[in-house]
Amino acid sequence: MYDVDPEVAAGLIAMFGPEPAAPVPVDDWATRRHNTHAMFSELRTKYAPAVDVETQDVTMTVAEGASVGLRIYRPHTRDSDGVLLYLHGGGMIMCNLETHDAICREYAVRTGMCVVAVDYRLAPEHPFPVPVDDCMAALRWVAGQRDQGWAPHRIVVGGESAGGGLAAAVALRARDEGGPEIAGLLLVYPMLDDRTCERDAGLDAVATWTYDDHLTAWRAYVGTDGAASGYAAPLRAETVVGLPPTYLEVGELDIFRAEITAFAGRLLESGVRLEFHLHPAVPHAFELFAPAAAVSERAMADRVRAIKSLQNKKRAGLDK
């Protein structure tokens, strides 16, 4: 059995109560989507979002004439021409611009940079490769804007959980397709591998994202036969050589920890500049449930520092 950081444990109890909730059946993505959106609604009542930022909603047209929404965050104290393209989490099956509005505001205010959030289409209604295609289209959109006040060579692509997996997939696509250039990657406990299925009973007991959630999400995203493409599951990529400088983190009690540490090893072996954090005694999405915990404040400070640094890095990571 694993011990949970006391401050994070208190936040989890405040959010979910002292007893574990009844498990949701595997493949019931609709209930998971409903419950998660309700949870984010409750979180918005507890934590006031940053207000010293202006937002603008725009729409881009993608494949087959479909529309995908973007939200631009411009901090009042903007002091950088970098931009963070942010891809929200949610297991590829849930969440949207509204659930992640607060975190995008926070990043904009604390980095002094514009943030562009992507309302990519979700599985199972839109399985792979649609979410990756939408996010790739958003990268091209950001890189092609000449009147928004950001520099196309200072794009950081980031996200948490599923959004982190999508960010890694977008970086692989951009490398293989000759651009657009990405200055750096922010991968916060990213969802990288559909093969994470061997259960650790100790982790299962403390998981905020469970093995059943994981199986449900991947089945909705790539079907029951698994992901054959590294663009779907980036840990499967044939090579990670040539990816941008990367910030990567995971909690010790996250069921993603093995796939993320494996990805960290591949990045290092491939000569990719890497900053990697393994936070002790915390599960997936720990900072959402306990934002005032010391570990959450450290993690957020590290992410903000990394974003500011990554915007100045070149793809090879060899600048001084």
Q: Let me know if 214 is a catalytic residue.
A: no
Q: How far is CA 41 from CA 37, 231, 235, in A?
A: 6, 31, 32
Q: Which CATH superfamily is domain 6-310 in?
A: Alpha/Beta hydrolase fold, catalytic domain (3.40.50.1820)
Q: What is the pLDDT of residues 257-300, one digit of tens each?
A: 999 999 999 999 999 999 999 999 999 999 999 999 999 999 99
Express as a percent the part of the chain with pLDDT over 90: 84
Q: Is a pLDDT exceeding 80 seen at residue 74?
A: yes
Nearest to 186 by CA among 102, 268, 88: 88
Task: Give DSSP secondary structure letters for 255-286.
Answer: TTHHHHHHHHHHHHHTT--EEEEEETT--TTH
Q: Which of 47-51, 103-107, 130-134 has the lowest mean pLDDT?
A: 47-51
* Measured CA distances, 64 to 10, 68, 143, 210, 315 (Å): 47, 12, 21, 35, 32
Q: For the chain, give the mean pLDDT.
A: 94
Q: Does residue 158 surpass a pLDDT of 90?
A: yes
User: Which 3 state secondary structure label does DSSP give 220?
Assistant: helix
Q: How far apart are CA 160 and CA 215, in angstroms?
A: 18
pLDDT at res. 313: 64
The answer, yes or no, to whether residue 318 has pLDDT greater than 60, is no
Q: List CB contacts of 219: < 8 A, sequence separation 6 or more.
A: 26, 27
Selecting among 88, 100, 214, 284, the annotated active-site residue is 284
* From 134, 193, 213, 254, the catalytic residue: 254
pLDDT of residue 63: 85
* pLDDT given for residue 320 in this prediction: 33
The answer, yes or no, to whether residue 50 has pLDDT greater than 90, is no
Active site residue 76: no
pLDDT tens profile 211-263: 999 999 999 999 988 767 999 999 999 999 999 999 999 999 999 999 999 99
Please give the sequence-ordered ranges of beta strands (E in DSSP) within 166-217, or none if there are none: 184-188
Spans of all domains in the chain? 6-310
Catalytic residue among 161, 193, 279, 296: 161
How many CB atoms lie under 10 A from the CB of residue 114? Answer: 26
Q: How far apart are the first and last CA of the chain?
A: 45
